[in-house]
Amino acid sequence: MSSPVRKAIFPVGGLGTRFLPATKAMPKEMLPVVDKPLIQYAVEEAAAAGIEEFVFVTGRGKAAIEDHFDVSYELEKTLGERGRDDVLDAIRAIGLEPGQISYTRQMDPMGLGHAVWCARKHVGNEPVAVLLADDLIMSKAPCLGQLIDVHKETGGNVVAVEEVPAEHTDRYGVLDIDSDDGTRASVRGLVEKPDPAEAPSRLAIIGRYVLMPEVFEHLAKFETGAGGEIQLTDAMAKMIGHIPFHGLRFEGRRFDCGDKIGFFEANLAFALERDELRDDIAGVLKQYVDR
């Protein structure tokens, strides 16, 4: 059976201020973890979860993302002449067909909800996934696929969640929980970036969503929330009570690559997973730890 979720939105318009100056002339989504840009991990995860159409919401200075998912004739020719079939495979591995990716532009950075709303014409009236490339997830089964499996069972909205330290609730959308079986939590409320003292729980939304298309009607009202921005969390909150709504504690490990420490840790963790790198990296680490 084909997936009921065929389309995914990738908001990639953010400024990446936390990684300046690296992101002055380069999109933050192109920062590499080991040797692959963050956005490619997200696209590969979506493809592995059965997504067929990929909608990027870009902004100024994001052309490198379009180039990355295009064919590079010069590079392929040169690598071919040099007999570098190994790297040729690596640059062709994404394997999306022409027309599977489309780009739309968020002309003003008015928040995540606004970025998602910008993709509405590409989505139409069907459920849609949203992936935030900053949240890099290492797992056996693709995190988005885990969400889609729950959606197939329950219908409605499904978001990835994890417990965060109490002092970090003001970095996330946080769930107010109705019932909770330890894996799935049924949601009765959502708050964007609450102060720890006011947070309804420590269960925070991680950047993977399956959303019903009604979300666009709520986003279209352009109501602003936390930070004066149009928040996806607020639009989702309005859908509670009308459709099923679940948070899934996914299987896997998430790295917050919007943060320097999380990004560094992701590089270590993904490098240590690679057979050809593990021993050398472990040796380097040991030198520093032993000092």
- By CB under 6 A, tell whether 209 contacts ligand G1P: no
The reply to whether 112 sits near ligand G1P by the rule CB under 6 A is yes
**Least gap, CB of 288 to ligand G1P (angstroms):** 29
Other beta carbons less than 10 A from residue 81's beta carbon = 8
By CB under 6 A, is residue 23 in contact with ligand G1P? no
What are the Cα distances from residue 185, in Å, to 130, 150, 201?
Answer: 19, 11, 11
Nearer to ligand G1P, 37 or 173 (CB): 173
Binders in 83-102 for ligand G1P, by CB under 6 A: none
- How many angstroms from the chain centroid is the CA of residue 134? 6
Stretch that binds ligand G1P, among 27-35, 213-221, 230-238, 275-283 (CB under 6 A): 230-238
Judged by CB under 6 A, the residue of 206, 215, 219, 240 near ligand G1P is: 206
Residue with Cβ nearer ligand G1P (101 or 199): 199
Tell me the window of 29-37, 148-156, 225-233, 238-246 that interacts with ligand G1P (CB under 6 A): 225-233
Q: Is 132 in the site for ligand G1P (CB under 6 A)?
A: yes
**Cβ–Cβ under 8 Å, residues 33 and 266:** yes
| Contact flag: residue 160 with ligand G1P (CB under 6 A) | no
Q: Smaller CB distance to ligand G1P: residue 7 or 254? A: 254
The only residue of 29, 45, 135, 234 in contact with ligand G1P, by rule CB under 6 A: 135
Establish if 192 lies at the interface with ligand G1P (CB under 6 A).
Answer: yes
Question: Is 207 a binder of ligand G1P (CB under 6 A)?
Answer: yes
Among 233, 234, 235, 250, binds ligand G1P (CB under 6 A): 233
In the complex with ligand G1P, the residue whose CB is nearer, 79 or 233, is: 233
Full DSSP string of the chain: ---S--EEEEE-----GGGTTTTSSS-GGG-EETTEEHHHHHHHHHHHTT--EEEEEE-TT-HHHHHHTS--HHHHHHHHHTT-HHHHHHHHTT-PPTTSEEEEE-SS---HHHHHHTTHHHH-SS-EEEE-TTEEEE-SS-HHHHHHHHHHHH-SEEEEEEE--GGGGGGSEEEEEEEE-SSEEEEEEEEES--GGG-S-SEEEEEEEEE-TTHHHHHTT----GGGS--HHHHHHTTBTTB-EEEEE-SSEEEETTSHHHHHHHHHHHHHTSHHHHHHHHHHHHHHHH-
Choice between 59 and 207, CB closer to ligand G1P: 207
Nearer to ligand G1P, 138 or 277 (CB): 138
Q: Does 162 bind ligand G1P (CB under 6 A)?
A: no
Residues binding ligand G1P (CB under 6 A): 112, 132, 135, 172-173, 192, 204-207, 231-233, 258
